[in-house]
Amino acid sequence: MGHGSLTLETMTAYVRYAALFATAVAVGFYLIAKVRNAFRQSQPSTSLLLDNFRDLHSSGQLSDEEYRNIKSKLAARLRDELKESEKAEKSGS
């Protein structure tokens, strides 16, 4: 009889630890999602960056080559954002 109650106690402890672990994992995922969302919102939009670099180029603070390089990288980023936006719209419909 002593051996059976030990097993029950052990199983109860395992269930408690599993529940604590599952809770910790869920809280971790929630916190990661919140941090990612905050990071995404804190980044300036690609179109705003393009506007800012265009202004720098117009004022002579960026050379033509620098501006072309930046513009091509931001244009690629903007295309990627548009593709992601289109995918999100299609999956949401």
Same domain, 31 and 53: no
Cβ neighbour number for residue 75 with a 10 Å cutoff: 12
| CA 88 to the chain's CA centroid | 15
Q: Strand locations in the chain, DSSP E?
A: none
pLDDT at 14 exceeding the cut of 80: yes
Same domain, 31 and 52: no
Domain count across the chain:
2
Return the closest-CA partner of residue 49 out of 13, 11, 81.
81
pLDDT at 1 exceeding the cut of 50: no
Same domain, 36 and 67: no
Determine contact, residues 78/69, Cβ cutoff 8 Å.
no
Model confidence, pTM: 0.47
Same domain, 84 and 59: yes
Instruction: Please give the residue range of the domain that contains residue 12.
Output: 1-42
pLDDT at 2 exceeding the cut of 90: no
